[in-house]
């Protein structure tokens, strides 16, 4: 009793503190059947953020971790200090890559529903995050993506037939049908092998960047994870290593508000921003309008220039919204308001760039419709081409014995025996 | 000096061997490989300026610079994750985990990433890393400085697991592991860093001085992974063991005066199945000895393989002498450790049948 009084706590007269403790379990603003409301998000004006020098010390970057770098305003005009002032042909390339990513996603989602493959994940609404970054990086910079950066491959002009072969796990799949669909690997395109284990790519990207620096190379690394994945321990170890060794790496957090059914509050968003994680590590942090491809491009260029000048790592939070379900195995109407994507205050990345290009007089609705039509045909033709190599479960896969290859560089005796046993069993069964 | 050594020394065109303990042999292997290959980098907690808590990396930073030998933050998942990225770049990292008991935070990076990278990318990316880590008990290390987690790694497709038992093997195997393009877990039995341990904890510790397998060439040589060593040829019984237990078994066998064939496996994955089969088919009896806990330990795999392949040659059930299925105790270490008493009892049991 005496102790409690001295410590300043209020007691109930029997030695117990009052009030009782309460556990806070975050709850998203809207569940199914409720109206979505994003008015609590503070969206600054497009020209609000100044552009600091690339050499700015991380301690001077605090406001950027809580602000929002934007370029395109509500009317589609490029404004403010971050406007990268890109030439018309680059803007139209960006638009085309984003539209192609969306068309690709649409086709592959349908392919999954038609039973041609087991699984797919769309990036609808997040196309600017991949496309903006890919165009701001050099092609020989190494990307360590998560599973929702297919736009990087598309922006690096990777063959979409090759991507589809992977999704169909067919005989044209360079991964030999070993990986779940969308877990691409394309070393030539600077696209690191995707893993199902979240955020493992973060310290790997830092290590790649450290190696490049230790070798006196000029290439940098970039990596992506979702806001949900920032809760993994690998995120912390990566940030620590990146900071300690001033690794030339760009660490992107794609905050699309949802980690499957968990809203961003379960990764800590109620208390802070994800860009603000950078502050504690002594890393430069930028928070960016992830549906504004020019802002994504400008922030990535800033971070890349900083890394190339030995200024160290940058953490970029891309504030965006996951328009579709998490994957083909997910039904978002089971946990969130159906109104959310239409209420999302930062709009659609393709519509915003399209409007900007129309404002500049380099684009119009007619050409846009024609482009969409052409891309749809291109994706359809690519799908037909890929399907010639087979679709999942139709037998046109790699030979069975290929399952045992590449576990090690050389196949040890126990795998040779297992391979032979499998072949003998199938032969004995008359198959 | 066994035949293998004569071959490898001759192949290297070597300088005179010198006396080394296991630490010095490991240090020498790292020195040789860093000298030969500019892509070999050493990293880990306290490995840089200080030269490692066991001195295994002493002098390397001074010789090769901080870009190639550096201290890391205390984060095992970070150390291995960064090493995977360095390997993807084209380096050949040799990360150290200070004690095998602390490798668990790195398991996701080892099991999900390093072990599968070649497979999942169909060879586009590889993880040519060698994870060095002191392991095993017998030093009053208690629960978290004594463990033998090799069975966790032998269960993972895509990693190799190597355990030396002498200074000569430690250097040759470590060089082979570093040169290997597959990720390798290299467990160093810290009880025998400074001298072979015969299992008699109550007698003064021996040094490696005068031991035939402590004469180590100063230059390059390698012992191929996947090749066992016959530590003692014999006809009465086959004993499969590795690491510290090789010496405990050797001493116990010598005292019993039994003609056992002692097979030092050296590499658990890939395993020298031919050496095992040849020995058991010759002797008809098999004892397996390891420090690690019994249930689902590597001894279970060895026992199953011997049973499957040598069934008609077996004259007695296969026996296992292992750590008990408990966490590694501090005060009761010598009741836990699979020492001379337990090995003798097992041998007597097998030979009775």
pLDDT reported for residue B199:
95
pLDDT reported for residue B2:
43
Length of chain A in terms of residues written? 431
pLDDT reported for residue B13:
47
- The answer to whether the CB atoms of A234 and B84 lie below 8 A apart is no
Task: Assign A14 a pLDDT band (cuts: 50, 70, 90).
Answer: confident
Q: How far is B93 from chain A (nearest CA, A)?
A: 10
**ipTM confidence:** 0.95
Reply yes or no on whether the pLDDT at B264 is more than 90.
yes
Please name the residue of chain A whose CA is at the shortest distance from the CA of residue B225: A412
Q: Are B307 and B317 in contact (CB under 8 A)?
A: no
Instruction: Identify the three-state secondary structure at position B76.
Output: helix
Integer CA distances (angstroms), A51 to A46, A54, A138, A299, in order? 12, 9, 22, 9
What is the C-alpha to C-alpha distance for residues B174 and B24, in angstroms, rounded to an integer? 12
- The answer to whether the CB atoms of A240 and B84 lie below 8 A apart is no
CA angle B19, B24, B25 (to 5 degrees): 80
Integer CA distances (angstroms), A93 to A70, A123, A230, A357, in order? 20, 18, 31, 11
- The answer to whether the CB atoms of A187 and B125 lie below 8 A apart is yes
Instruction: Quote the tokens at residue A316.
Output: 């970029």
Closest C-alpha among A205, A181, A179, A180 to residue A192? A205
Are β-strands B267-269 and B160-162 bridged in parallel, bridged antiparallel, or unpaired? antiparallel
Reply yes or no on whether the pLDDT at A372 is more than 50.
yes
Q: Are A193 and B121 in contact (CB under 8 A)?
A: yes
Integer CA distances (angstroms), A315 to A17, A289, B83, B264, in order? 42, 14, 21, 50
What is the C-alpha to C-alpha distance for residues B343 and B252, in angstroms, rounded to an integer? 7
Mean pLDDT score of chain A: 95
Task: Assign B42 a pLDDT band (cuts: 50, 70, 90).
Answer: very high
- Select from B86, B105, B124 the Cβ nearest to the Cβ of A187: B124
pLDDT in tens, B57-82: 999 999 999 999 999 999 999 999 99
Mean pLDDT score of chain B: 95
B144 touches chain A (CB under 8 A): no
A51 exposed, middle or buried (CB, 10 Å; 0-12, 13-18, 19+)? Answer: middle
Task: Assign B151 a pLDDT band (cuts: 50, 70, 90).
Answer: very high
In chain B, which ranges are continuous DSSP H helix?
A: 3-12, 22-36, 60-64, 76-89, 107, 117-120, 150-154, 167-179, 244-256, 273-283, 298-310, 333-336, 340-352
pLDDT in tens, A210-228: 999 999 999 999 999 999 9
Residue recorded with tokens 């922006």? A155
Residue recorded with tokens 């072979």? B196
Topology classification of domain B226-351: Rossmann fold (3.40.50)
Task: Assign B5 a pLDDT band (cuts: 50, 70, 90).
Answer: very low
Please name the residue of chain B whose CA is at the shortest distance from the CA of residue A212: B89
- Select from B75, B84, B160 the Cβ nearest to the Cβ of A240: B75
Q: How far is A412 from chain B (nearest CA, A)?
A: 6
Contacts of B159 (CB under 8 A, 6+ apart): B110, B111, B114, B115, B153, B182, B183, B184, B185, B269
Contacts of B68 in chain A (CB under 8 A): 214
As annotated, the residues of chain B forming the CATH 3.40.50.970 domain(s) are: 17-192
Strands ordered across the beta sheet of A314-319: A142-144, A221-226, A249-255, A314-319, A284-289
What is the C-alpha to C-alpha distance for residues A182 and B118, in angstroms, rounded to an integer? 17
What is the C-alpha to C-alpha distance for residues B163 and A117, in angstroms, rounded to an integer? 44
pLDDT in tens, A144-192: 999 999 999 999 999 999 999 999 999 999 999 999 999 999 999 999 9
Q: How far is B99 from chain A (nearest CA, A)?
A: 19
Domain B17-192: CATH architecture, name and number where available: 3-Layer(aba) Sandwich (3.40)
Task: Assign A8 a pLDDT band (cuts: 50, 70, 90).
Answer: low
What is the C-alpha to C-alpha distance for residues A30 and A32, in angstroms, rounded to an integer? 7
Residue recorded with tokens 């059914």? A261
* Highest CATH level, class, for A58-394: alpha beta
- Annotate A289-342 with DSSP letters as a single string: ETT-HHHHHHHHHHHHHHHHTT---EEEEEE----S-SSTT--GGGTS-TTHHH
- The answer to whether the CB atoms of B112 and A197 lie below 8 A apart is yes
Reply yes or no on whether the pLDDT at B116 is more than 70.
yes
As annotated, the residues of chain B forming the CATH 3.40.50.920 domain(s) are: 226-351
Q: Are B9 and B221 in contact (CB under 8 A)?
A: yes
Closest C-alpha among B132, B116, B135 to residue B124? B116
Q: pLDDT over 90 for what percent of chain B? A: 95
pLDDT in tens, A276-332: 999 999 999 999 999 999 999 999 999 999 999 999 999 999 999 999 999 999 999
Predicted TM-score (pTM) of the model is: 0.96
pLDDT reported for residue B4:
45
Contacts of B245 (CB under 8 A, 6+ apart): B289, B290, B291, B338
Q: Which residues of A133-162 are buried (b: 16+ CB within 10 A; e: fewer)?
A: bbbbbeeebbbbbbbbbbbbbbbbebebbb
Contacts of A202 in chain B (CB under 8 A): 81
- The answer to whether the CB atoms of B82 and A210 lie below 8 A apart is yes
pLDDT reported for residue A9:
61
What is the C-alpha to C-alpha distance for residues B209 and B215, in angstroms, rounded to an integer? 9
Q: How far is B105 from chain A (nearest CA, A)?
A: 9
- The answer to whether the CB atoms of A203 and B86 lie below 8 A apart is no
Reply yes or no on whether the pLDDT at B14 is more than 60.
no
- The answer to whether the CB atoms of A407 and B158 lie below 8 A apart is yes
What's the whole-number mean pLDDT along residues A86-106? Answer: 98
Task: Assign B230 a pLDDT band (cuts: 50, 70, 90).
Answer: very high
B228 exposed, middle or buried (CB, 10 Å; 0-12, 13-18, 19+)? Answer: buried
For B321, which DSSP code? Answer: E
What is the C-alpha to C-alpha distance for residues B146 and B329, in angstroms, rounded to an integer? 9
Reply yes or no on whether the pLDDT at A233 is more than 60.
yes
B92 touches chain A (CB under 8 A): no
Q: Are B296 and B303 in contact (CB under 8 A)?
A: no
Reply yes or no on whether the pLDDT at A6 is more than 60.
no
Reply yes or no on whether the pLDDT at A59 is more than 90.
yes
pLDDT reported for residue B10:
44
What is the C-alpha to C-alpha distance for residues A231 and A255, in angstroms, rounded to an integer? 12
B246 touches chain A (CB under 8 A): no
- Select from B41, B122, B160 the Cβ nearest to the Cβ of A175: B122
- Select from A178, A197, A208 the Cβ nearest to the Cβ of B119: A178
Contacts of B83 in chain A (CB under 8 A): 207
What's the whole-number mean pLDDT along residues B332-343? Answer: 96
Q: Are B281 and B313 in contact (CB under 8 A)?
A: yes
Please name the residue of chain A whose CA is at the shortest distance from the CA of residue B38: A215
Contacts of A183 in chain B (CB under 8 A): 120
- Annotate A210-252 with DSSP letters as a single string: HHHHHTT----EEEEEETGGGGSHHHHHHHHHHHHTT-SEEEE
Considering only residues 108 to 137 of chain B, which have any Cβ-Cβ distance to chain A shorter than 8 Å? Answer: 108-109, 112-113, 116-126
Q: Where are the domains of chain A?
A: 58-394, 401-431
- The answer to whether the CB atoms of A203 and B78 lie below 8 A apart is yes
- Using N-to-C axis directions, what is the helix angle for A293-308 and A127-136, rounded to 10°? 40
pLDDT in tens, A24-50: 999 999 999 999 989 888 899 999 999
pLDDT reported for residue A13:
78
What is the C-alpha to C-alpha distance for residues B59 and A322, in angstroms, rounded to an integer? 52
Contacts of B81 in chain A (CB under 8 A): 200, 202-204, 206-207, 234, 237-238
Closest C-alpha among A239, A248, A293, A262 to residue A65? A239
Reply yes or no on whether the pLDDT at B8 is more than 60.
no
At B6, give phi and psi (nearest 5°). -55, -40
Reply yes or no on whether the pLDDT at A4 is more than 90.
no
Interface size, chain A vs chain B, as Cβ–Cβ contacts under 8 Å: 144
- The answer to whether the CB atoms of A208 and B85 lie below 8 A apart is yes
Closest C-alpha among B80, B78, B195, B91 to residue A215? B91
Contacts of A272 (CB under 8 A, 6+ apart): none
B182 touches chain A (CB under 8 A): yes
Residue recorded with tokens 């491009």? A297
């Amino acid at each position: 009793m005496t102790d409690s009084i001295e410590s300043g706590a209020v007691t109930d007269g029997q030695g117990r503190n009052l009030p009782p403790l309460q556990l806070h379990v975050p709850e998203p603003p809207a569940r199914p059947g409720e109206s979505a409301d994003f008015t609590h998000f503070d969206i600054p004006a497009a020209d609000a953020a100044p552009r600091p020098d690339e050499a700015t010390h991380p301690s001077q970057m605090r406001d950027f971790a809580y602000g929002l770098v934007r370029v395109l305003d509500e009317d589609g005009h490029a404004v403010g200090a971050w406007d990268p002032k890109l030439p018309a042909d680059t803007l139209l390339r960006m638009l085309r890559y984003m539209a192609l990513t969306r068309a690709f996603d649409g086709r592959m989602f349908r392919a999954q529903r038609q039973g041609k493959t087991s699984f797919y994940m769309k990036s609808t609404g997040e196309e600017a995050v991949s496309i903006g970054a890919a165009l701001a990086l050099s092609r020989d910079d190494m990307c360590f993506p998560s599973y929702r950066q297919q736009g990087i491959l598309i922006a690096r002009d990777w063959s979409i037939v090759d991507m589809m072969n992977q999704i169909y796990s067919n005989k044209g799949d360079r991964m030999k049908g070993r990986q779940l669909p969308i877990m691409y690997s394309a070393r030539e395109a600077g696209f690191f092998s995707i893993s199902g284990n979240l955020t493992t790519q973060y310290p790997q990207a830092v290590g790649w960047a450290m190696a490049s620096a230790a070798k006196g190379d000029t290439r940098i690394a970039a990596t992506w994870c979702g806001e949900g994945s920032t809760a993994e321990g690998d995120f912390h170890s990566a940030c620590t290593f990146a900071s300690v060794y001033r690794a030339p790496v760009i660490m992107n957090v794609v905050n699309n508000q949802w980690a499957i059914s968990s809203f961003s509050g379960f990764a800590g968003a109620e208390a802070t921003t994800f860009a603000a994680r950078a502050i504690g590590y002594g890393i430069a942090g930028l928070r960016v309008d992830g549906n504004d491809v020019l802002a994504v491009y400008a922030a990535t260029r800033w971070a890349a220039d900083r890394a190339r000048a030995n200024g160290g790592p940058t953490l970029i939070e891309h504030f965006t919204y996951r328009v579709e379900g998490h994957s083909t195995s997910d039904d978002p109407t089971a946990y969130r308001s159906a109104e959310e994507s239409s209420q999302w205050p930062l709009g659609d990345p393709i519509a915003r760039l399209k409007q900007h290009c129309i404002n500049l007089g380099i684009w119009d609705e007619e050409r846009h419709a024609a482009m969409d039509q052409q891309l749809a045909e291109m994706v359809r033709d690519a799908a037909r081409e890929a399907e010639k190599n087979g679709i999942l479960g139709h037998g046109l896969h790699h030979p069975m014995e290929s399952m045992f290859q590449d576990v090690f560089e050389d196949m040890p005796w126990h795998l040779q025996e297992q391979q032979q046993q499998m072949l003998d069993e199938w032969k004995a069964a008359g198959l | 000096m066994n035949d293998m050594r004569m071959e490898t020394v001759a192949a290297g065109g070597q300088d005179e061997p010198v006396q080394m303990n296991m630490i010095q042999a490991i240090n020498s292997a790292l020195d040789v490989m860093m000298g030969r290959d500019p892509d070999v980098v050493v990293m880990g907690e306290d490995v840089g300026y200080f030269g490692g808590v066991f001195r295994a990396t002493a002098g390397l930073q001074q010789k090769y610079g901080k870009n190639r030998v550096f201290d890391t933050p205390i984060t095992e998942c970070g150390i291995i994750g960064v090493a995977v990225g360095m390997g993807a770049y084209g380096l050949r990292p040799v990360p150290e985990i200070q004690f095998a008991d602390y490798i668990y935070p790195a398991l996701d990076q080892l099991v999900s990433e390093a072990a599968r990278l070649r497979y999942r990318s169909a060879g586009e990316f590889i993880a040519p890393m060698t994870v060095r880590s002191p392991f095993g008990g017998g030093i009053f290390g208690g629960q978290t400085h004594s463990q033998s987690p090799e069975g966790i790694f032998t269960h993972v497709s895509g990693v190799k697991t190597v355990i030396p038992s002498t200074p000569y093997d430690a250097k040759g195997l470590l060089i082979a592991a570093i040169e290997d393009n597959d990720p390798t877990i290299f467990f160093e039995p810290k009880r025998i860093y400074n001298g072979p341990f015969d299992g008699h904890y109550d007698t003064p510790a021996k040094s490696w001085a005068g031991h035939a397998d402590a004469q180590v060439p100063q230059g390059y040589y390698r012992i191929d992974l996947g090749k066992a060593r016959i530590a003692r040829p014999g006809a009465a019984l086959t004993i499969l063991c590795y690491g510290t237990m090789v010496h405990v078994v050797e001493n116990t066998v010598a005292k019993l005066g039994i003609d056992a064939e002692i097979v030092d496996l050296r590499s658990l994955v890939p395993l020298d199945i031919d050496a095992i089969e040849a020995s058991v088919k010759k002797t008809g009896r098999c004892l397996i000895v390891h420090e690690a806990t019994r249930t689902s330990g590597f001894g279970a795999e060895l026992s199953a393989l011997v049973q499957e392949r040598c069934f008609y040659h077996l004259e007695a059930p296969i026996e296992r002498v292992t750590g008990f299925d408990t966490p590694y105790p501090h005060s009761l270490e010598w009741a836990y450790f699979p020492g001379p008493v337990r090995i003798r009892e097992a041998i007597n049991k097998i030979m009775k049948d």
